[in-house]
Chains A and B, each alone.
Chain A
């Protein structure tokens, strides 16, 4: 990895010379963290930075696993069902099971989630 020079590191600012540009916006990450619970108080500056990288790894892993399902189906388009299959097949993605198995936007086969849209569609 190219290193920023001793002084140009300051002039260019940020850490892009070291860790690469962040692919994911830190402020948005922080917002999501805060929303995760009413009692989330303070978040260190480094925590969103760890998450920015962690989310990359997460997206990569989820994509990789989903694509394998796509290939098994001899298809070239990764679709939502492939993602759902990958989630179902991966233990650590159990927390996503409800999310990926919810009725999709136009579906009527609602799961047991009392979402308004589900009731709306079914009424």
Chain B
């Protein structure tokens, strides 16, 4: 039997494990035990290709990120692009599985950002944890800024921020003038959101208050 060339099925990958389980079967037929597949050697139904895309990051985005690393003259083979695309999905599944197990052990229903960060640390990706923590912190700041600007800033300053903000965050916890913690959203609250020294507008990467971020932020404090 001639090798089955899959160039026309560029996104139809032979992936098992965490991601892409029901690859070649139409929906509803997830059993893969019918005589080693000898009954399924008809042409693959086209809908499988369309569904495949959902299992991976868009390849153009993957390539774009790869090109940030590679020198200008570098070329990337198609199968390398696809392989890395598959690896990304596997990575997400791998980390999520670990994070989910932890949630179940602790009888929580929602996988949080902290769970994800914890799982990464546990699975050997601890080099990622700090940059991701910084990234997450900036995101939370920008979110809290958005919510804080919903009302009149002058009026809001008078709000008693209350114990829900103060308690878990330790002595280094600062509340800047620009932050109106009375209104921040539930997600940030649940995560143990933290705030840097404010100065009206949250600073970006060059902020002088940057060090206080990692000093005060203990992503896993609530889990100790």
Contact = CB atoms under 8 A, between A and B. Distances in A.
Interface string A1-21: 111011101100001011100
Interface stretch (B115-123, B154-162, B168-176): B115-123
B88 interface: yes
Contacts of B55: 31-32, 35
B194 to A, nearest CB: 13
B14 interface: yes
Contacts of A58: 87-88, 91, 125, 128
Contacts of B215: none
Contact of B75 (A25, A76, A107, A123): A76
Contacts of B112: 44, 46-47
Interface in A56-105: 56-60, 62-64, 66-67, 70, 76-80, 82-84, 87, 91-92, 95-96, 98-100, 102-105
A24 B77 CA distance: 21
A41 B109 CA distance: 6
A102 B3 CA distance: 15
B77 A79 contact: yes
Contacts of B5: 105-106
Given A25-B57, A60-B68, A92-B123, A54 B116 contact: yes
A42 B109 contact: yes
Contact of A57 (B86, B87, B131): B131
Nearest to A115: B14
A80 B108 CA distance: 40
B65 to A, nearest CB: 4
A40 B100 contact: yes
Contact of B97 (A6, A15, A37, A45): A37
A62 to B, nearest CB: 6
Interface string B129-148: 00110011011111101100
Nearest to A95: B94
Contacts of A80: 77, 79-80, 83
Given A9-B145, A32-B93, A120-B41, A78 B76 contact: yes
Interface in B52-68: 54-58, 61-62, 64-66, 68
Contacts of A118: 14
Contacts of B69: 60, 63-64, 67
15 contacts: A18-B138, A19-B138, A24-B61, A31-B54, A36-B96, A37-B97, A42-B111, A57-B131, A63-B70, A83-B84, A92-B124, A99-B15, A102-B16, A122-B1, A123-B1
Given A106-B5, A108-B3, 6 more contacts: A3-B203, A9-B145, A31-B55, A50-B136, A63-B65, A96-B90
